[in-house]
Structure 1
Amino acid sequence: MKADAQALKGHLDVLLLATLTDGPRHGYAIKEALRDGSGGRFDLPTGTVYPALHRLERAGLIAGSWSVVDGRRRRTYELTDDGHQKLAGDRANWRKFATAVTSLLEPGPWPTTN
């Protein structure tokens, strides 16, 4: 089952930041990393990914630069120091959230009362 952009609302920015952890990528490679890293579940349209990248760039969390590859211009993005800090904080918050949700959805056995 594929997730759509609405289902990712509130999570897209951190997922995009995470795709840049291993180094710079151009826009389409970021889109592919989302798709491939999620086993095809996050196969989002470019009309969703690029506006989010522009928003992250305006916020100073990523930096973009233009290059020409095989005669084609493309924009490559990388995490800024603020982006690295934001991603670290978001990952810590996600772990706490996921632990709380998991404890509710998959509770262990209830203690017996005697």
Structure 2
Amino acid sequence: MRKTFQLHVEGKNRDRVLDAVKHEIRKYIKRERRRDLPEGADFWDFDCRFGRTKEDAAVAHLSALTGLINGVAAEGGAQFYVEILAKPGKRTPRPAGQAPQGGADDLGGDEEDVV
């Protein structure tokens, strides 16, 4: 998806246009994730770019897109550009002996011995 979204549409409420844009982006991502994975791939990864125009678009993380869109809307911007390209991804195995981060074994808190 490579698209410039207009936030000022004649005769439409700006908040509703913003919600419709976010919905369209989420719908695209869900549709891409449903596609069949190529051989050897574990998941669909996304390369994203975001900016006010296509020329000044910078690399952004997929999870940060909603915040960036909200930032443009809060500043009163008239438009923004989003580029989301799906690519197959492969998970890398965790090195032996490395504990999972934030998993069920991670109790948080102090490292005291409990007897």
TM-score (norm 2): 0.23
**Larger % of strand: which?**
2
**Larger % of helix: which?**
1
Answer 1 or 2: higher relative contact order, Cα 8 Å, separation at least 6: 2
TM-score (norm 1): 0.24
